Amino acid sequence: MKQPIDALDARILALFRSEPRIGVLEASRRLAVARGTVQARLDRLEANGVVTGWGPDVDPRALGYEVMAFVTLEISQRGHRRIETALTALPEVLEAHTITGAGDMLVRVVARTNADLQRVVDDVLGIDGVGRSNMVIVLADGVPYRTEPLLDGVAGDAKV
């Protein structure tokens, strides 16, 4: 299987993950490569879908959404695209994935309070084609979403 990125790509991505505001010129200095090389690789990584965004990460808690939950949905078998579209209309839905196993879809939601979480779940259950749900509430963050260990594996011993 062809590796989608090489060691230099991984080093560039690791640097931008750790210091998102570094800038291409400073990144090229630290990595000891030409500025044009860094820019061309970033452009290629973005065009190939490896880099999916440049915006700041935002913590929902800082916006007043103190409660997070994962909701497993049982849905009608031919309606997942329509249900995904309806879920995007709910601002408290952070992500949704079609899954295998006991449920059909896994949805991460946030709410301001536990009582507000009931409203959010009711909104989700009100979507045509959504049947039953099973919910777990997040008590604490253990391992946040991360890609650095994957980049480290590609970069090998080459450090930023």
**How large is the average pLDDT for residues 56-79?**
93
> What's at 158, amino acid-wise?
A
pLDDT confidence band for 92 (50 / 70 / 90): very high
| pLDDT tens for each residue of 93-113 | 999 999 999 899 999 999 999
Output Rg (C-alpha) for the chain, integer angstroms: 20
Q: Which of 79-83, 134-138, 154-158 has the highest mean pLDDT?
A: 134-138
Task: Give the model's confidence band at 148: pLDDT under 50 very low, under 70 low, under 90 confident, else very high.
Answer: confident
Is the domain spanning 7-55 CATH 1.10.10.10? The answer is yes
Q: What CATH number does the domain located at 64-137 have? A: 3.30.70.920
Put residue 65 in one of left, alpha, beta given phi > 0 → left and psi -120 to 50 → alpha: beta
Residues 6+ apart with CB under 8 A from 16: 22, 27, 42
Give the residue from 154, 67, 50 showing the smallest Cα distance to 112. Answer: 67
Structural domain spans, the chain:
7-55, 64-137
Q: Which pLDDT score, from 0 to 100, does residue 151 have?
A: 84
* 4 pLDDT above the threshold of 60: yes
